Chains A and B, each alone.
Chain A
Amino acid sequence: MILQDIIFWILSVSAIIAAFGVVFLNNIFRSALFLILVFLSFAGLYILLSAEFVAIVQLLVYVGAISILVIFALLITKNEKNSNLPIRVSIPAFFVVAMFFVVVLFALNSLNEITSSSKHLSETIASEVLQDTSGWIGSLLVSNFVIPFEVVSILLLATLLGSLMLLRNDPK
């Protein structure tokens, strides 16, 4: 238990610091590198929440594909050093975000009161599901969630065709 707490604190603090790095650093390439650190910490948090399949998908899709895509796009475009909007935009933005965060904290606090009073699932079922999360996710994906699963494949095909059409060479 105590080891879990230590790992959780390391992962979450590194995720938050790296997210600040993504948003506030002026060098855009460095913010892309910090973005990879955020993705890695999140993969660790998923493993800590016993969601191994989501963690592996996170590593494959985010760390493997999306970061490389972002870095390629950074290398193709030219970037100026100072890329913050003027202060008259960022101060209202800060207030909007602060208000949002406070409201969400109140909402989560009420959630915390609800869940702390509920009882626990029987141990045998919980351990039986936790032993093979990926297998159960697979069987749910082809039974109850089969329609969203197929719709997502159509979405991916449409994305492939759309980005090819946007980036092909001849203008007409």
Chain B
Amino acid sequence: MNIFSIFIVAMSIFSIGLFGALSRKNLIVILMSIELMFNAIVLLAVGFSRLGFSSILYLGRNTVSEEVLIPLLSGQIFGLFIITVAAAEVALGLALVLTLYRSRNTANVDEINELRN
């Protein structure tokens, strides 16, 4: 398992999610596609953290210290923060969709065009 194939998988999922966010009509499916993109980015961050284990910079060190730990694990910590922000985002997004559904009685993006003309 090359780490490079992990990156290819992550970017494929990101592209699929981007296409879904651009081409679907239902707001909830758009939110689901955005979740796919968030997940791909978390996978990319964790893969970079794994890449840190083959870094050239820490060859001489023999004990686990802060300057070894931060390059090794900050990718995973960034992933955890992205997961938290994505959870907050989807909660607020679904609240917005439900509010919109209450007032307009639709969840389709092409029927929400009050500002167009």
Query: 8 Å CB contacts to B: which residues of A95-153?
Result: 96-98, 100-101, 104-105, 108, 111-112, 115, 118-122, 124-126, 128-130, 133, 136-137, 140-141, 143-145, 148, 152
User: Interface size of B by Cβ–Cβ distance < 8 Å?
Assistant: 80
Chain A contacts of B7 at CB under 8 A? 108, 111
Could you tell me the distance between the alpha carbons of A118 and B61 in the complex, rounded to whole angstroms? 16
User: B residues near A, CB below 8 A?
Assistant: 1, 3-9, 11-20, 22-26, 28-29, 31-33, 35-36, 39, 42-43, 46-47, 49-51, 53-56, 58-59, 61-64, 66, 68-70, 72-74, 76-77, 79-81, 83-88, 90-92, 94-99, 101, 107-110
Chain A hits for B32, CB < 8 A: 22, 31-32, 35, 70
Give the number of chain A interface residues (Cβ < 8 Å): 87
Check if B20 sits within 8 Å of A62, measured CB to CB. no
Question: Majority SS of interface residues in chain A?
Answer: helix
